[in-house]
Chains A and B, each alone.
Chain A
């Protein structure tokens, strides 16, 4: 595989990470919290799609459309039961509560579905196998292209939502200053619940792509969370388009890293993430300070 092809495949992989990261980015942007169960929510979405496919035999995409309302509802419930309470008490509480939740989701999935790996690849139709050979060393898979197109459309739709619709303005106002928004009659509780519902639904889309691209099991969540968070940080926390670019940068780092050594793929992504953190937060001040 040439470097050019590695970069191309990295862009496709990165678009997948951007979809995973999108919900995380929304929740951070609106509420300044990181949901440590985000990866597990995505995997839960994949399992729900899997169950629908198994029961009815429909395609994974149709099953996702059926699962979507369930995920939206789940997002509301998550906000009202766990996150809303945790928002009121300190910056550590949302992390602690969602970390606990993450363990609960993983092990409930373990109980319901056994630790076996599953895939949605078989029920996604010909999109998983089709590909075009551009040049001898460069190939474009239909699935990669689909994920990339969906990712770009998703971020564009979010951009339009936030900049052109009334609900989007309300969300931005709440993100800017929830107390001031309350003063002009905005119910921040329902805005937060809406943001979480969106985040959970988009996480499920990430779960769908995870299941179609490869396999998943009950403990796949933490890895997805790490990749999603890396994408958010690399792109700049709180920036929506940054998250798309961050995801792509992470994907490219991983596929190019794999060129060096197959086991170096994930490592290269981690190193990029740590490098971004160092440059952004530790730049030029790496000395033992006393104050």
Chain B
């Protein structure tokens, strides 16, 4: 018996992911700006799904309030840009702000369990939303535009936003990938599988959860930055909407809670559904909600988790597998 991390499939696929990222980077050079804008939306969904999964899938922290960080990222960008810094610098500052704010929030939120944490985070998002609504400089309840981006020619602007989205998505995917492969990652996956057992073996559960929480704060903040860069206009009722949480839960549950590849698959599926049912509407949301509930009840590992379990397939190697050693070795 020996322990194996890489397989031929996972080597191929990890290489393929890097190649895909390089190919994607060329998209704005080839396609029209509406395609670029759509793909930016897809990248935002991937980023959100991966971050929500980092929290719920690995940390066991089900948040219904990650829109707090999306809002901080989006409104932070508008705020910093209004102070006169370049809009792109404002975007980086806003991402850092979201990550920084997640630290004090984590100090208290991580003491809550299950429903308390879920709704506690939701209330925190509501509080931040109310604060924004009270601030005339941020457009209060009616919303505000990121006018500073208008100085760029639309095609260039769309390309820059896309590249930023690609960079953010790859950075956060890579961060989670290397985090899960590091010695820390083993403890995170142990928490995912059985928190009490992990604690009894000396895993510092609280510190590990904080790490995931702050990572998700940064990531969702980055997603918020991309939302405002992609749409140029935000209002509190949409950017702080609990609908974001609904999307994240759908993507992660359908894709595969606690798997690395699943949320990416879930994001692609949601994007495909959104592109097909462009008019949206209640039926589409009924479908999303019902599907999420069905997956939670009947297929808790999601599509990817089920495939992984049945076929032993692992495309991006974040775990280990035990394989039978080759016959001639055992004979010797």
Q: Is A55 an interface residue (CB 8 A)?
A: no
Q: Is B296 an interface residue (CB 8 A)?
A: yes
B127-A274 in contact (CB<8A):
yes
Interface 9-mer from A137-145, A164-172, A185-193, A278-286: A278-286
A85-B122 in contact (CB<8A):
no
Partner of B296, one of A33, A96, A111, A226: A96
B62-A96 in contact (CB<8A):
yes
| Residues of chain A within 8 A of B124, CB atoms compared | 274
Q: Is B56 an interface residue (CB 8 A)?
A: yes
Partner of A99, one of B246, B283, B297: B246
- The distance in angstroms between the C-alpha atoms of A257 and B217, with both chains bound, is 30
B289-A97 in contact (CB<8A):
no
| Residues of chain A within 8 A of B111, CB atoms compared | 277, 281-282
Q: Is B311 an interface residue (CB 8 A)?
A: no
Nearest CB in chain A to that of B210: its residue? A288
Q: Is A89 an interface residue (CB 8 A)?
A: yes
B127-A271 in contact (CB<8A):
yes
A291-B204 in contact (CB<8A):
yes
Within B242-287, the residues touching A (CB, 8 Å) are 242, 245-246, 249, 253, 282-283, 285-286
B123-A85 in contact (CB<8A):
no
| Residues of chain B within 8 A of A107, CB atoms compared | 282-283, 285-286, 289
Q: Is A267 an interface residue (CB 8 A)?
A: yes
Partner of B56, one of A92, A103, A288: A92
| Residues of chain B within 8 A of A101, CB atoms compared | 289, 293
Nearest CB in chain B to that of A35: its residue? B115
Residues of B within 8 Å of A, CB-based: how many? 46
| Residues of chain A within 8 A of B308, CB atoms compared | none
Nearest CB in chain A to that of B204: its residue? A291
Interface centre among A96, A226, A237, A291 (most CB of B within 10 A): A96
Q: Is B134 an interface residue (CB 8 A)?
A: yes
- The distance in angstroms between the C-alpha atoms of A286 and B116, with both chains bound, is 18
Within B81-125, the residues touching A (CB, 8 Å) are 107-108, 111-116, 118-120, 122-124
Q: Is B185 an interface residue (CB 8 A)?
A: no
A96-B249 in contact (CB<8A):
yes
- The distance in angstroms between the C-alpha atoms of A99 and B116, with both chains bound, is 14
A92-B114 in contact (CB<8A):
yes
Q: Can you pick out 21 interface pairs between chain A and chain B where the beta carbons lie within 8 Å of each other?
A: A34-B114, A82-B297, A92-B60, A95-B62, A95-B114, A98-B293, A99-B293, A100-B249, A100-B296, A103-B285, A103-B289, A104-B290, A107-B289, A226-B122, A274-B120, A277-B116, A277-B120, A281-B108, A281-B116, A290-B207, A291-B207
Residues of B bordering A, CB below 8 Å:
56, 60, 62, 64, 107-108, 111-116, 118-120, 122-124, 126-127, 130, 133-134, 204, 206-207, 242, 245-246, 249, 253, 282-283, 285-286, 288-294, 296-298, 300
